[in-house]
């Protein structure tokens, strides 16, 4: 990598510090009970070897769910429940999170975590299975927000399904689109990265969507479905 000059280095350093500050700020946005459940859920994810949303991404998800006044949210990639806690926190008190994952045992951890965070059992509907089998069974226009955090190779298909599932004004979000910096790296990249770049392009060019790429965590690509 080329050497950064003094001022450029200071700007880069300030930017990284600011992003770290935004993540730390996100860590304090839920109550202590939910925070303890988030810690537990992150520990289970670490043991399972899966990633979870960062604190900055989590607080953005809460914000988006609250902005959409979400009563129905669909999530692809339950994991052990970290993102689900943030989504439930932002949703209406009577809102229901429908969450899909290939691995039912991870969903059991998520179920425990949601309870520990103080959410009633009827706030979440767990559907085990592959996203591409489950999503077609969900209702047209029945969702205020769709959060995609499953298989990045399938993100284009998740987008097509999300456009069907969302009500006008609803929001779709894709987690991890920076892919640890590989999305903007000029070097040769695997098919997964090519797919992410195509997704970024197709969302930006869509006449049906109003997009924004939020620089939280590993990149949260969001778009509102036009009315
Ligand atoms: C990164 S983890 C999700 C983390 C979770 N959203 C969180 O922040 O706590 C990705 C999850 O997607 C699930 N997954 C992967 N491919 C899938 C697919 N095709 N359909 C449904 N779930 C899938 C994995 O089993 C894994 O639990």
- The reply to whether 20 falls in a domain is yes
Residue 94 belongs to domain spanning: 6-225
Ligand 1 pocket check for 110: Cβ under 6 Å: no
Question: pLDDT value at position 115?
Answer: 98
Question: pLDDT value at position 3?
Answer: 66
ipTM confidence:
0.99
Question: pLDDT value at position 5?
Answer: 78
Lowest mean pLDDT of 8-17, 136-145, 179-188, name the range. Answer: 8-17
Ligand 1 pocket check for 79: Cβ under 6 Å: yes
Element (H, E) at 193: helix 191-205
Question: pLDDT value at position 1?
Answer: 47
Question: pLDDT value at position 150?
Answer: 98
How does pLDDT run across 112-121, given as a tens digit for each residue? Answer: 999 999 999 9
Residue 205 Cα to ligand 1 midpoint, Å, equals: 27
- The reply to whether 1 falls in a domain is no
- The reply to whether 221 falls in a domain is yes
More confident position, 184 or 10: 184
Question: pLDDT value at position 9?
Answer: 83
- The reply to whether 201 falls in a domain is yes
Question: pLDDT value at position 2?
Answer: 56
Ligand 1 pocket check for 151: Cβ under 6 Å: yes
Q: What is the CATH number of the domain that holds 211?
A: 3.40.50.150
CA distance from start to end of the chain:
45
Mean pLDDT of the chain: 95
Count Cβ atoms within 10 A of the Cβ of residue 27 and give its class: 0-12 exposed, 13-18 middle, 19 or more buried.
middle
Helices (H), 102-183: 104-116, 131-134, 155-165
- pLDDT above 90 covers a percentage of the chain that reads 88
How does pLDDT run across 36-90, given as a tens digit for each residue? Answer: 999 999 999 999 999 999 999 999 999 999 999 999 999 999 999 999 999 999 9
Instruction: State the total domains in the chain.
Output: 1
Question: pLDDT value at position 207?
Answer: 96
Span 169-187, average pLDDT: 96
Residue 13 Cα to ligand 1 midpoint, Å, equals: 33
CA atoms within 13 A on the CB side of 147: 36
């Amino acid at each position: 990598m080329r050497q950064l000059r003094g001022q450029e280095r200071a700007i880069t350093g300030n930017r990284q510090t600011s992003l770290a500050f935004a993540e730390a700020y996100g860590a304090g946005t839920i109550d202590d009970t939910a925070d303890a459940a988030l810690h537990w859920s992150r520990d289970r994810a670490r043991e399972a070897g899966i990633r979870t949303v960062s604190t900055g991404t989590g607080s953005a998800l809460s914000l988006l769910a609250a902005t959409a006044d979400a009563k129905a949210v669909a999530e692809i990639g339950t994991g052990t429940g970290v993102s689900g806690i943030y989504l439930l926190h932002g949703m209406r008190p009577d809102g229901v999170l429908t969450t899909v994952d290939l691995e039912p045992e991870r969903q059991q951890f998520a179920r425990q975590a949601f309870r520990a965070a103080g959410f009633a059992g009827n706030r979440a509907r767990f559907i085990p299975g592959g996203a591409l089998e489950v999503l077609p069974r969900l209702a047209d226009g029945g969702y205020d927000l769709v959060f995609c955090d499953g298989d990045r190779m399938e993100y284009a298909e998740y987008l097509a399904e999300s456009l069907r599932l969302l009500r006008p004004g609803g929001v779709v979000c894709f987690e991890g689109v920076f892919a640890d910096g590989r999305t903007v790296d000029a070097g040769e990249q695997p098919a997964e990265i090519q797919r992410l770049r195509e997704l970024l392009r197709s969302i930006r060019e869509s006449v049906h969507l109003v997009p924004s790429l939020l620089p939280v965590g590993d990149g949260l690509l969001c778009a509102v479905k036009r009315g």
